[in-house]
Structure 1
Amino acid sequence: MSEIEALVAARYGLAGRASFLTSERDLTVRVDASGGESFVLKIANAAEDPAVSEFQNRALEHLERIAPDVPASRLVPTLDGASEFLAEKHGQPHFTRLLTWLPGRPLFGTPQTAPQMRALGTALGQLAKALSNFRHPAADHEIVWDLRRVPQLIPLTAHVGDDALRERVEAAFLRFRDEILPLAPGFRTQVVHNDFNPFNLLVAPDDSDRVTGILDFGDLVSTSAIYDLAIACAYQVAEDGPPLAFVAELLAGYHAVHPVPEREVDQLFDLIAARHAMTITIGEWRASRYPDNAAYILRNHARARAAMTRCAALPRAEAQSILRRACGYA
C-alpha cells in the first residue's frame, strides 16, 4: 500500500491512506486523503487495451459536460493536468486514473419499491440519453458481457453443472440467436453502461429510493440500447408476487426519459432471459478458471437462476403485454 500511497502523492499531490476494493479486472483502491476527501484509484491490468480505458475516461468527461446531474464519478487531474497516465510496474505500463468517491450505500440488499424502480429507470434513461451522441474509436470493442456476443457463449454452457438449468440457459441463447439477432439491425445503437446492476448503484443512506451514484464504467460499449435496458431489468425481477412488477416500473421510468420503440419493447422479455443465461454461463465458466475468486465471480448467480425460473413460468405473450403497458403501448 505504501507504493500506491506514494504514487498518489507524487501524481496528485494527495497524502492519504489507501485500501483495496474488490474488483474483477482492475486494481481498484480507495484513497482517503488527509484533507477528508475520498477517491478511487483504478490501475488497469497491463493486458487491457489502453484505448478502451481512454474511451471510458472520455465518456466520463462527456457526461460531466453534457449531463452534470447524472451521478457518475469525475476524473481527478494529475498535478500536470492529465486525466490519466501510464504507471509502470515490472516494466509493464498500466493505464491509471483517479476518480471522485461517490456518496451513498449499495443498492444491493435494499428493499425493492416501485418508487425506487422508477428512480433507477430514470437514472439509466438519463445516462443512456446523455451517451446517445457520444462517439469514440474504441466504442465498438469486443467484450464478453455484450449481449451481441451470446452466440459465442453457447459452447460455454457445458460449464453449467445443473442439467435442467443448462437446458434453460441453452434455450434462452438459441432464442436470442435465432429470433432476436436477425432483428438487431433495426435496434437503436449507442454507447451504453452495460452493467447497471445493484452492486454498481448507490442510494442515499436515509432514502433507498434516491439514486446517488452510478459506478463502474468498465463494461462500457457501443451496442443496442435495448440490451443495456435488459441488463438493468434482469436484476429487478421480483422474488415474490408478479415477476415483472418492478421491471415494469423501471421500464416506465426509463421510457419517460429515453423512449423505447415498440419493436424493441416486444423483445425485452427474451433479452432479460438471455442476460440471466449470460450471468449463469459466464459465472460458472470463470469460476472454474479462477476458483480463488469464485465467490466474487458468482455473486449474482443465485439471483439470476431464481429470476430465470420465475420468468420461465410466465407466458411470453403475457409478459410482452405487461411491458407494453408500462410504455403506454397497450
Structure 2
Amino acid sequence: MSAAALDIFGETLAEDAPDASEVDALAILGRHYGLTGTARPLPGERDHNFHIKTEKDGEFVLKISHPAEEAGFTDFQNKALDHIALVDPTLPVPSVRKSLGGEAQFAISVAGSAPRIIRLVTYLPGVLLSRSPTSVAQDRNVGIFLARLGKALRGFFHPAAGSDLLWDIRKVAKTRPMTADIADAGHRALVERAIDSFEEHAAPIIPQLRAQIVHNDMNSYNVVMDASRPELVTGILDFGDMIHSPLICDLAIGAVYRWPAEGHPLAPAARFVAGYQSVQPLEAEEIGILFDLIRARLALIANIASWQAERFPAKRAYVLRLITEVWTSLERLDALSPADARRYFLDHSNPE
C-alpha cells in the first residue's frame, strides 16, 4: 500500500498504540478512581481495554485510547451513553464511571507514552453473540434491539458525529486500493463487484434518506447475549464507530452478521430486518438498497482486514477473525441479483 493510502485513511492506524500492561491499568484504577481489583486485557482494534473486577464495586472496562484519538470523539461516546440512559433507561448499554475528580475522561501518559485518554465504563455480563448459538428468535431479537438503540439516539447530536471515519460504509469505494492486499484473485473480484454494485445502486440514493447518529458497528463481537437464554440480547458494546449516517446503513451492518445459513442466504438477515421493522418501519427506498449496503459492508471488512493484517502482524489473528465468514457470505450473495434480493427482503422482512 502506498503512502497515498495512508493519507486517505488518516494516521490513527499508521502504527500500533504503545503497550499498556495490567500493572498500568491497576495503577490508573487506584490513583484516579479509588478502586482496587484485577485487570484482564480485552482485544481491541485501536484502544487498550481491560476487564476490571473489584470486590465491592462491580465490574468495569478501563479504556486507554490510542494516542491519536481526539478528546472530542471520546466525549461523543460519553455523551451518547448518557443520552441513551436518559431516553431509554431499560436499554442495556455501558454507563460512564466518573473519576475521583468528577471527570468522565482525562488524559495522562501511560508507560511513558504521549498522553492517552482514559475512561471507565460498566461491564455488561453475558456471552458475546459470536459465541452464542443462533436461532430464529435471536435473529429477530437482535433486530429489535438495534431499532430500540436507534430510537434512543434519534434526538442526540454531537459535533464529532461528522468525523471522517474509516468504517463509514458510504465511503467503501475509497478502499479499492486495499484490494491489493487480498491474495486470492477470486476474492478480489468479489470485492470489486460488491463495490461496483454499491456505486451503481446505493450511492445515488443515500443522500435522499433519513439520517441520524447511529452505533455503526453492530458486529457479533459487540453484542452481548444472555448466557442461559442466547436468544435474548443483554447489551451492546463499543460506541467507538458512531457516526451521523442513514439509518439503513446501521441496519445493513447488523444484517451482515446474521450469516447466511442453509436455504436462502438472506433468510437470517430478513428475520433480523423483520424484528427491526416491528419497532422502526423502513421506507421503500431504504429496503431497495439494503442488499447493496450489506455487500458493501462485507467488502469493507475484507479490504480493511486484509490491509491491516499485512501492516500489523501482531493483530493479524484479531483483524482476520471473521474473514472465513466474510468470504462465504460474499460468495453466496454474489450469486443473487440485486433485484431478486430486493424482492426477497420485501416478501420476507415484514414485521409479524
TM-score range normalised by the length of the shorter chain: over 0.9
Q: Aligned residues: percent identity?
A: 37
1:307-322 to 2 correspondences below 5 Å: 307-322=329-344
Residue 41 of structure 2, aligned match among 14, 20, 24: 20
Q: How far is the alpha carbon of 1:91 from its aligned partner?
A: 6.1
Provide the rounded CA distance (Å) in 2 between the counterparts of 1:169 and 1:2: 43
Provide the rounded CA distance (Å) in 2 between the counterparts of 1:281 and 1:259: 32
- Aligned-residue CA RMSD (Å): 1.5
Q: Does 1:104 align with 2:126?
A: yes
Provide the rounded CA distance (Å) in 2 between the counterparts of 1:45 and 1:328: 42
- 1:13 counterpart letter in structure 2: G
Report which stretch shifted further, 73-82 or 113-122.
73-82
Report which stretch shifted further, 319-328 or 112-121.
319-328
- 2:74 counterpart letter in structure 1: S
1:48-197 to 2 correspondences below 5 Å: 48-89=69-110, 90=112, 92-197=114-219
- 2:148 counterpart letter in structure 1: Q
Q: Is the 8 A contact 1:235 1:304 kept in 2?
A: no
Residues 198-227 of structure 1 show CA distances to partners (whole Å, capped at 9, x for unaligned) of 111111111000001101111111111111
Q: How far is the alpha carbon of 1:293 from its aligned partner?
A: 1.0
Name 2:14's counterpart in structure 1. none
Name 2:52's counterpart in structure 1. 31
Name 2:9's counterpart in structure 1. none
Q: How far is the alpha carbon of 1:177 from its aligned partner?
A: 2.0
- 2:193 counterpart letter in structure 1: A
- TM-score normalised to structure 2 length: 0.90
Q: How far is the alpha carbon of 1:184 from its aligned partner?
A: 1.2
Residues 262-281 of structure 1 show CA distances to partners (whole Å, capped at 9, x for unaligned) of 11101001111111111111
3-state SS in 2 of match to 1:20: strand
Provide the rounded CA distance (Å) in 1 between the counterparts of 2:99 and 2:179: 45
Q: How far is the alpha carbon of 1:240 from its aligned partner?
A: 1.8
Provide the rounded CA distance (Å) in 2 between the counterparts of 1:277 and 1:270: 10
Q: Does 1:224 align with 2:278?
A: no
Give 5+ residue unaligned stretches, structure 1: none
Q: Is the 8 A contact 1:119 1:211 kept in 2?
A: yes
Name 2:282's counterpart in structure 1. 260
3-state SS in 2 of match to 1:133: coil
Residues 153-183 of structure 1 show CA distances to partners (whole Å, capped at 9, x for unaligned) of 1121121111111111111112212331111
Q: Does 1:235 align with 2:235?
A: no
Residues 285-324 of structure 1 show CA distances to partners (whole Å, capped at 9, x for unaligned) of 1101111210001111110110111112223322211211
Provide the rounded CA distance (Å) in 2 between the counterparts of 1:61 and 1:174: 39
Provide the rounded CA distance (Å) in 1 between the counterparts of 2:57 and 2:93: 20
- 2:84 counterpart letter in structure 1: L
3-state SS in 1 of match to 2:212: strand
Q: Is the 8 A contact 1:150 1:177 kept in 2?
A: no
- 1:288 counterpart letter in structure 2: E
Q: Is the 8 A contact 2:271 2:349 kept in 1?
A: no
Q: How far is the alpha carbon of 1:36 from its aligned partner?
A: 6.1
Provide the rounded CA distance (Å) in 2 between the counterparts of 1:109 and 1:12: 32
3-state SS in 2 of match to 1:3: helix
